Structure 1
Amino acid sequence: MVPILIGRIQTRLFLLALVGSAVTLALIPLLPGTAALTERYRAAFVVLAAVAVLGIGWELLYHLLMQFRWEKDWPSLFGLLTGVPEGLLLWALLRAGAVPAAGAAPPGWVFAVHFGAVWLAVWLVANGPMRVPFLRWRFRGGRLV
């Protein structure tokens, strides 16, 4: 079953909240920074929330683009590679100060490591372990609720 739009949005938000938060909690203390750890966590979770909000817009765009494909779906690798334009847009918004409450943009490599680790973990869970606790997930068009 091809995930429907609302199913992809639900899955994205669920995985960002669960897996993205876990990766962020584990990774942020390992990344260098001059601010206090609580401030770095706050900024990282603001970025994670921005990924979730921007992701809804991206899902709408991807849904439109998928209508031109015969199968009306992306190959799985495209799902991984879509992190590149999403990450670049978010980085540009952070640099422009367009993400409220994020503070100063982190160094580029710190952002890339955090965003890349979260994106890879979410993609891996969505394409593997997600199917174990949610047996009917793919038959319901990716909807969780």
Structure 2
Amino acid sequence: MVPTLCGRIQTRLFLLALVGGVLTALLVPVLPVDAPRPAIYQSAFVVLAAVAVLGVGWELLYHLLMQWRWEKDWPTMFGLLTLVPEGLLVGFLAVSGVLPWLPAPVPLDAFVLHFVVVWIGVWLVANGPMRVPFIRWRFRGGRLM
């Protein structure tokens, strides 16, 4: 079954909260940022929240683009490669310091490391281990609830 728009949004938010939150918490201590630890955690979680919020908009755009595809779905590799446009947008907002609740602009190298690790982690879990505890996930169009 092809994941529905609602299923993709639910899965995205769930995985960003669970997998993204854990990876962010583990990654913050090794990020190349010279700032107090609470400010680094705040910045990292603000960026993660921005990826989640803006991701809903991206899902709407991807859904529109998928309507022109014969099978109305992306190949799995497209799901991985969507990190490029999403990363560019959130990266621009984070590095320029435009995101709300961001204590300071995020250094580019720290953003890239954080974003790529979280994105690949979420993508790997969505395409593998997630199918074990959520056996019926695929048959419900990707919806979790």
Normalised by the size of structure 1, how large is the TM-score? Answer: 0.97
CA distance in 1 between partners of 2:21 and 2:35 (Å): 20
One-letter code of the match for 2:112? A
- Residue in structure 1 matched with residue 117 of structure 2 by the alignment: 117
Q: Deviations over 1:96-136 (max 9, x none)?
A: 43310113222211100000000000000000000000000
- Residue in structure 2 matched with residue 83 of structure 1 by the alignment: 83
Q: Deviations over 1:55-83 (max 9, x none)?
A: 00000000000000000000000000001
**Residues 33 and 107 of structure 2 are in contact (CA less than 8 Å); yes or no, is this contact kept in structure 1?**
no
- Residue in structure 1 matched with residue 66 of structure 2 by the alignment: 66
Question: Equivalent pairs: percent with the same residue?
Answer: 68
- Residue in structure 1 matched with residue 7 of structure 2 by the alignment: 7
Normalised by the size of structure 2, how large is the TM-score? Answer: 0.97
One-letter code of the match for 2:24? T
* Aligned counterparts, 1:10-29, within 5 A: 10-29=10-29
**Residues 7 and 143 of structure 2 are in contact (CA less than 8 Å); yes or no, is this contact kept in structure 1?**
yes
For these two proteins, the number of residue pairs brought into alignment is: 145
Structure 2, unmatched stretches of 5+, are: none
* Aligned counterparts, 1:118-137, within 5 A: 118-137=118-137
